Amino acid sequence: MDRHDDVITLPQTRRDFCVQACRAVSLVAVGAALQSCGSPTSPSGGSAPALATINGSVAGGTVSVTVDAASPLASTGSAALVQSSAGNFLVARTAQDAFTALTAVCTHEGCTITGFASPLYVCPCHGSQYNTGGAVVQGPATRALSQFTTRFVNNVLTITL
C-alpha cells in the first residue's frame, strides 16, 4: 500500500515481504561477521598481564635500578618495565645474577610494550610477542627488540645505553 511517493512503501505481497526481510537479515549478518573479523594486525590470544613499573635513574650513560627483596625483579623469571629519562626498558631476571634489558618500543608500530606472560613480552597494540632475549615469537612485528648490556653488583642493576 502506497501512501505517498516520499513515504515508506510497504510490501505488496507475502513474497515481497520475505525478500525484504531476507535482505535485512543478510545485511545484519554480514555486518556482524565483518565486525568480528578485526584487522590483520589486531591482537590475538587476549592480553597479557601488565608489567610492574619501576623507575630508573640515569647518570653517565647508564640507567640504574635497585633490585632488593621488595622489587618486582627480586625473583628469577620476573620482569618489569623500567621507566627513565633515557627511555623505557623491558627488564627480565633470567638467573640469580643475570638480567636482560630491551627497548620497550615495539618494532611493528612503535607502541610501548607493557604486557608480560612469562616468558613473553606482549605488545598491547597489535599482539606482537617477543621472548626475553628480544626475538620475535609472534608478529606482526618482524624485527627483534634492541638489547642493552646489563651488570648486577650489590643489588644495583645497571643498563648501559
Residues 6+ apart with CB under 8 A from 33: none
Residues 6+ apart with CB under 8 A from 29: none
Residues 6+ apart with CB under 8 A from 73: 54, 65, 67, 79, 80, 91, 93, 99, 157
pTM to 2 decimals?
Answer: 0.71
- Which pLDDT belongs to residue 110? 87
β-partners of residue 106 are none
Apex CA 67: angle with CA 66 and CA 70, to 5°? 115
Residues 6+ apart with CB under 8 A from 80: 51, 52, 53, 54, 71, 72, 73, 91
Of residues 74 and 1, which shows the higher confidence score? Answer: 74
Q: Is the pLDDT of residue 6 over 80?
A: no
- Which pLDDT belongs to residue 9? 54
Per-residue pLDDT tens digits for 122-156: 999 998 999 999 999 999 999 999 999 999 999 99
| Alpha carbons 120 and 150: distance in angstroms, whole number | 19
Per-residue pLDDT tens digits for 26-81: 444 434 433 333 333 344 444 789 999 999 999 999 999 999 999 999 999 999 99
Report which of 151, 148, 152 is spatially closest to residue 161, judged by C-alpha positions: 148
- Which pLDDT belongs to residue 33? 36
Q: Is the pLDDT of residue 24 over 80?
A: no
Q: Does domain 52-160 have CATH number 2.102.10.10?
A: yes
Domain ranges of the chain: 1-37, 52-160
- Which pLDDT belongs to residue 5? 54
Asked if 121 contacts 132 with a C-beta cutoff of 8 angstroms, the reply is yes
